[in-house]
Structure 1
Amino acid sequence: VLHARKCILDGIVSAAQNRSVPPLNYPRVYDLCREFPECEFVLNGGIHGLAAARAIAWGDGGDGGGECHGVPCDVCAAPNGSCYAPPSPSAPQNLCGVMLGRAAMEDPSMFWDVDRYFYGEPSNPCRNRREVLFRFCEWLERAYPRRCCDNNDQATHIFPPPDIVHLQRHCKVCYEMHEKGDKFVVAEEDVWKNRLSTMMKEGSPPRQKITARIIGRCLKPVSTILYGMPKNKLFKRTLDSYCQNAWIRNCGPGFILRKAMEIVPDSIWDEDFTKTEELAENP
């Protein structure tokens, strides 16, 4: 993985400035690909969306001539002289891919369109955020099952978790998820919160069998799935609050995510994603 921006280590710029002050130099990466054809490269740095990622990974399909790019780049007219031009007409064969770091962390929902837009599949697996999160919940419940109703004292702190046998179908916190078979059934939010509040007043929290590190690592990838949409901050605050609540944690990351989703109106979760072609993307 080759970052297309220099890193200045002499203390003149901060870590945050190192992500913006040194100019991006994509042509240098393409030159290195051609100079070392036996090596495989992945370009990293400054890629903010799927449109830019596809153009860099596959090439822009142009005629390969005309504009002259370099650093500083008058053609791109980007801050600090950056040049983020895609290879033209096609990418070097040993440019094997691109890496999206902060863009993925800030707006994970952009990846809903990867199968269709980037890889050329006829369709994507999910149409909206609800479908994405429900599939993710199902995976979480398999990978990190609830630990509220078993007699195994070993904590879940790595993957795979310890083998467990549930002694009962549910606890007082998560009973609405299991009271009707395995189908998730939503309890009235006020009823659930009142029950939880009563439990917190009456005694000490249960012994923690799923570590905070596991919960945080599981849910961080989707904490910003409402980026740029209403209720984004509310959902993130609610998710963070539930993650830190020792009374809830043993019910597992899947349960925590399902409960946090209830704070957001259905219309937001059910809104269809926007195709990448229809987004206004800026490098």
Structure 2
Amino acid sequence: MDLRCPPTLFRKHSPTALNSTLKRTSSTYLLTIVCSQYQLPSRKQKHRMPLQKNPNRTCSIAPMMSYTDRHFRHFVRLMSKRTLLYTEMVVSGTIIHNLSSEYLDKILGFDTDQPPLAVQLGGDCPDELETAARVCEDYGYQEINLNIGCPSDRVQKGSFGAVLMKTPEKVADLYHRMQRVVQIPVTVKHRIGVDDLDSYEFLSNFVDTVSKAGCRSFSIHARKAWLKGLSPAQNRSVPPLDYERVYQLKADFPDLEIVLNGGIDSLDQARLHLEKVDGVMIGRAAYRHPLLCQHVDEMLFNDHSNKAITTGELLCAFQDYMNRELSRGTPASSILRHLLGFFKGEKGSRIWRQRITSFIQTKEPITDLALLYDETIGRFKDE
């Protein structure tokens, strides 16, 4: 598996010593201490893998909390070699508080076969985001994405996510502080508006302000965010989609890269959007119906060099991956949960889900996913 992690760069002081420092210092002073004590890598340091200066964003899988962990990303990578993958959002403060902890590898480590891969960061403290960006670059990510779209209450209490759209000048400063310390691109993901600030003029001004700080790539969820009255789940469906507004933004800012996110359920739909924007970012559909990723390289990247993997081949390959992970002590439930809805809508999917749930609950290892498929979904294929 070869999880990427800087071996000793951030391990010079005990977590206890760092925690005591955290309690008695201000944020700015703390970041000065952290940077000096942990010897953040210089820009001349050789990275473990060649950096792709600007990854291809024609198609990407959106960062999704509790979904796009390294197990799900491995699953997608088995089907598509070209799709840009994103981590779950990582709060910058979490990185800062765990610089001397093995937990840092858990949240930032990834398999060497997962790139092209981007990390999404959330936060509003320039010092923390600057340090977190340097740490993420050293891990080998090809892009750092700043979350300006999450509407959850927890994120709002931290004064980041979608609420930051209300202060475009601050977002521009956060972008600048991050980009100045890394060589890989920093991008921004945001909504088309927030609360009552939902005019096209507001959206255009936001993009214009942040782009003047140097940002060249914007991933835009084509819904506004209501910060009061709607849950995060409702914010993904209740506010109406407005693709035309994103199309207009691309027309008005032709030199910027505009990636469209929100409500994309099929590759045919994605191809239509690509006639108007530079890229598409697929969210929940990729998790609920992951087999759509089987033909992404061919249909969206026009790459015919890799034969689409069959369902049987996919399950066998994922079985090998799961066996390796289990031998390293990874809980089976953290892997199997991604397979629960794999065949949603197909005959036999309820039985498949029941069997997977049983394996999770009993903690019994699954030895043959392909056989389980034949016993549940496959037996209906010949009817």
TM-score, length-scaled by structure 2: 0.38
Task: Specify the structure having the higher radius of gyration (Cα).
Answer: 1
TM-score, length-scaled by structure 1: 0.49
Q: Name whichever structure is richer in helix by fraction.
A: 2
